[in-house]
Amino acid sequence: MSTALPIADQRTVRAAAVRLVAADRRAVAGLITVSSLAALAALGGPWLLGRIIDTVAAGGGAGQVDLLALGVLGCAIVQTLLSRYALAIGYRFGERTAARIRENFLRRALGLPAAVAERVPAGDLAARGTTDVDAVATTLRDILPSVFIAVVQLLFVAVAVIVLDPLLGVVGVLGLSGIWFVTQWYLRRARDAYLAEGAANSRLAEELAATTSGARTVEAFGLADRRLTAGRTAIEETRHTRLATLALRSVFFPLAETSYAVPTVFALLLGGLLYIDGQVSIGTVGAAVLFMRQLVGPLDTILIRIELMQSSLASFARVEGLGSIPAGPPPTTATPRDEVIEVTGVRYAYDQGREVLHDVRLTVRPGERLAIVGLSGAGKSTLGRLIAGVDRPSAGSVTVGGVPVADLPPDELRRQVVLVTQEHHVFRESLRDNLMVAASDDELRRALATVGADWADDLDRDLGEQPLDGAQAQQLALARVVLADPHTVILDEATALLDPTAARTAERALAAVLHERTVIAIAHRLQTAHDADRVAVMDDGRIIELGTHDELVAAGGSYAALWHSWHGEGRAGDTVHAGTRER
Ligand SMILES: Nc1ncnc2c1ncn2[C@@H]1O[C@H](COP(=O)(O)OP(=O)(O)OP(=O)(O)O)[C@@H](O)[C@H]1O
């Protein structure tokens, strides 16, 4: 079962944006200053053109007009240069901020509590770390600087036209209100529509990841049709959400385009009347109209990009959502006083679901070999995960040397208890880096030799280019355990997925690793239980029997019944799992 990843609300997104701006405030101040100067230079053109009209109307000479025209040219050059400079500052700010967002995301993803990281949908996490972070980075780098400069230009032009002639200016600027309403209409719908599109993309990634990672299961159980249907549904949902955002755009853009002309029309109509009335000069009307036309460029820049900014904002909310996952209590500084593991009154439920462990009590003595047996779903793996500190019990405690295991910092936990399952990750890195310990090459080689990894002579071997097979990957995982050197190892189906030959190699490696350690084996073979110092029998989230093999057989309970039924048939070495038997 997976827990959906949260999405940050608007307040959190705003706060995150403010933090990012504050982190690079010098660049932001530079951007504001230079783009304001560029916008100021841009105002010179229309104003000087107005003066030219008035000069000509008043019968002024060509010398005066030439001078003014030279001014227009100067303003244009200064504006172009300053705008370029502002853009350069903006791009650099965008790059640095995008890097900060990526680093934050990575830090948060790596800092997720193990129990949460395991249960969040991998596709969604991957989509947020790639598609969403990329969308935000692209916006910051390529879009935000030009939009910012356009906003500054817009403000300067609006103020300039009002200063030129207050009545003409106010009416002209009011002509922009249409665009305001249209944009509001769009923005109100766009956030949800883009969030829905992002979620549908994640679900599609999730479906594809599930199908590819479970390809063998799909093949074995003839689930191809079902997976195809699930894939098609996810694609259909993606298409549907994309159509919804497309519909919004196809209303918004034509309306916005039409609205551009309104301020110019207002300025012309009112300006004409005022001129006839003798209240303004023809040059002022000309300048006002030019200013109104000057609004179109920045408006266009903003509106064309508003859609991308909106979808990036939705992406940013998804990226920031990771920050609202509770990190759990800080690690303890206490050190375990000994190696005794105590499980006391432990209860556990996955994601507020039904309780799957009820009042489990158990003491694991240092150096002992404890086998946990029981039918599928009895709670063996869950108990193993709690003892390994992967998760915390809902009630009760799991301690090692008196300290709750889940509170131990990762480095300390590794030295105490390690859980070995059939899942082990091989990174696309060198063998040395895959061992994940800062140890000398000699120590790494010794650990690999302990687990019989005779293939591992080259520590620089790139495991991305020369991947390991199942048994080798298992040996790598076991070499990591040797290097971590915990006093207790929990084995959960550690060799269950390997073929018999690989399993034999892995069993040998395992024996070397387990030497002189406490072992808690979730046993799928009765032979494992037979060879253990004690056996705990689990049933429906409880330990119902606990003792040595001989004691339990003598007690004549459920373990004895299981033992007799298998042993009686001469199948003591077979696998016990899910109440069925496998060879
Ligand atoms: N991630 C999970 N989310 C929700 N419920 C879970 C999860 N993992 C296990 N469970 C449930 O918890 C109960 C105990 O499962 P657990 O895997 O611990 O049993 P088990 O004895 O190890 O079984 P098996 O031998 O099949 O691994 C089962 O009812 C199972 O459905």
Q: Is the CB of 352 under 6 A from ligand 1?
A: no
Asked if the structure places residue 332 within a domain, the reply is: no
Confidence of residue 582 (pLDDT cuts 50, 70, 90): very low
What is the predicted pLDDT for the residue at 511? Answer: 81
pLDDT tens, position by position, 56-81? 888 877 888 888 899 989 999 998 99
With the most atoms of ligand 1 within 8 angstroms of its CB, the residue from 356, 390, 524 to mutate is 356
Judgement on whether residues 265 and 382 belong to the same structural domain of the protein: no
Confidence of residue 494 (pLDDT cuts 50, 70, 90): low
* pLDDT at residue 220 is higher than 90: no
Query: Is 99 within 8 Å of 134 (Cβ atoms)?
Result: no
Residue listed under structure tokens 């009590």: 361
Residue where a domain terminates, one of 292, 324, 356: 324
Asked if the structure places residue 500 within a domain, the reply is: yes
Judgement on whether residues 346 and 437 belong to the same structural domain of the protein: yes
Judgement on whether residues 124 and 264 belong to the same structural domain of the protein: yes
Asked if the structure places residue 330 within a domain, the reply is: no
Judgement on whether residues 449 and 363 belong to the same structural domain of the protein: yes
Q: Is the CB of 380 under 6 A from ligand 1?
A: yes
Q: Is the CB of 256 under 6 A from ligand 1?
A: no
Judgement on whether residues 312 and 352 belong to the same structural domain of the protein: no
| Centroid of ligand 1 to alpha carbon of 381 (angstroms) | 7
Q: Is the CB of 379 under 6 A from ligand 1?
A: yes
**Which residues make Cβ contacts (< 8 Å) with residue 333, sequence separation at least 6?**
none
Tell the residue nearest (CA) to atom 2 of ligand 1: 1
Confidence of residue 581 (pLDDT cuts 50, 70, 90): very low
Task: Dump the DSSP string for 384-427.
Answer: HHHHTTSS--SEEEEEETTEEGGGS-HHHHHHHEEEE-S-----
Domain count, the chain: 2
Confidence of residue 574 (pLDDT cuts 50, 70, 90): very low
Judgement on whether residues 145 and 266 belong to the same structural domain of the protein: yes
pLDDT tens, position by position, 90-112? 889 988 998 999 999 998 888 88
Least Cα distance to 483 among 524, 549, 431, 408 occurs for 431
* pLDDT at residue 505 is higher than 80: no
For the chain, give the percent of residues with pLDDT over 90: 26
In one-letter notation, the amino acid at residue 439 is A
pLDDT tens, position by position, 426-475? 888 888 888 877 778 888 888 888 888 878 778 888 888 888 887 788 88
Confidence of residue 502 (pLDDT cuts 50, 70, 90): low
With the most atoms of ligand 1 within 8 angstroms of its CB, the residue from 346, 357, 360, 381 to mutate is 381
pLDDT tens, position by position, 405-416? 988 888 888 889
Judgement on whether residues 274 and 310 belong to the same structural domain of the protein: yes
Confidence of residue 577 (pLDDT cuts 50, 70, 90): very low
What is the predicted pLDDT for the residue at 348? Answer: 94
| Centroid of ligand 1 to alpha carbon of 459 (angstroms) | 38
Give the CATH number, domain containing residue 510.
3.40.50.300
Q: Average model confidence (pLDDT) for the chain?
A: 85
Confidence of residue 569 (pLDDT cuts 50, 70, 90): low
The lowest-confidence range among 180-184, 218-222, 356-360, 476-480 is 218-222
Mean pLDDT of 151-174: 87
**Which residues make Cβ contacts (< 8 Å) with residue 298, sequence separation at least 6?**
149, 150, 151, 153, 154, 157
Query: Is 371 within 8 Å of 538 (Cβ atoms)?
Result: no
Judgement on whether residues 239 and 134 belong to the same structural domain of the protein: yes
Look up the domain containing 62 and give its range.
10-324
Query: Is 490 within 8 Å of 343 (Cβ atoms)?
Result: no
Q: Is the CB of 565 under 6 A from ligand 1?
A: no
Asked if the structure places residue 581 within a domain, the reply is: no
What is the predicted pLDDT for the residue at 143? Answer: 85
Query: Is 343 within 8 Å of 398 (Cβ atoms)?
Result: yes
Tell the residue nearest (CA) to atom 24 of ligand 1: 376
What is the predicted pLDDT for the residue at 520? Answer: 94
Q: Is the CB of 281 under 6 A from ligand 1?
A: no
Confidence of residue 575 (pLDDT cuts 50, 70, 90): very low
Asked if the structure places residue 4 within a domain, the reply is: no
Judgement on whether residues 361 and 311 belong to the same structural domain of the protein: no
What is the predicted pLDDT for the residue at 571? Answer: 47
Asked if the structure places residue 579 within a domain, the reply is: no
The lowest-confidence range among 100-114, 117-131, 239-253, 305-319 is 117-131
Asked if the structure places residue 5 within a domain, the reply is: no
**What is the spatial distance between Cα 556 and Cα 559, in angstroms, rounded to a whole number?**
7
What is the predicted pLDDT for the residue at 327? Answer: 67
Confidence of residue 496 (pLDDT cuts 50, 70, 90): low
Mean pLDDT of 529-553: 92
For the chain, give the percent of residues with pLDDT over 70: 94
Judgement on whether residues 274 and 347 belong to the same structural domain of the protein: no
- Residue 522 alpha carbon, nearest atom of ligand 1: 22
Q: Is the CB of 377 under 6 A from ligand 1?
A: yes
- Residue 385 alpha carbon, nearest atom of ligand 1: 18
What is the predicted pLDDT for the residue at 292? Answer: 86
Q: Is the CB of 384 under 6 A from ligand 1?
A: no
Asked if the structure places residue 1 within a domain, the reply is: no
pLDDT tens, position by position, 104-152? 999 888 888 777 777 777 778 888 888 888 888 888 888 888 888 889 8
Q: Is the CB of 323 under 6 A from ligand 1?
A: no
Judgement on whether residues 392 and 536 belong to the same structural domain of the protein: yes
Q: Is the CB of 1 under 6 A from ligand 1?
A: yes
With the most atoms of ligand 1 within 8 angstroms of its CB, the residue from 380, 491, 540, 544 to mutate is 380
Q: Helix, strand, coil: what percent of the chain each, to 5?
A: 65, 10, 25
Mean pLDDT of 384-400: 92
**What is the spatial distance between Cα 124 and Cα 209, in angstroms, rounded to a whole number?**
10
Least Cα distance to 160 among 22, 295, 331 occurs for 295
Judgement on whether residues 312 and 366 belong to the same structural domain of the protein: no
* pLDDT at residue 2 is higher than 70: no
pLDDT tens, position by position, 21-36? 899 999 999 989 998 9
Chain CA centroid to CA 352, Å: 23
* pLDDT at residue 324 is higher than 50: yes
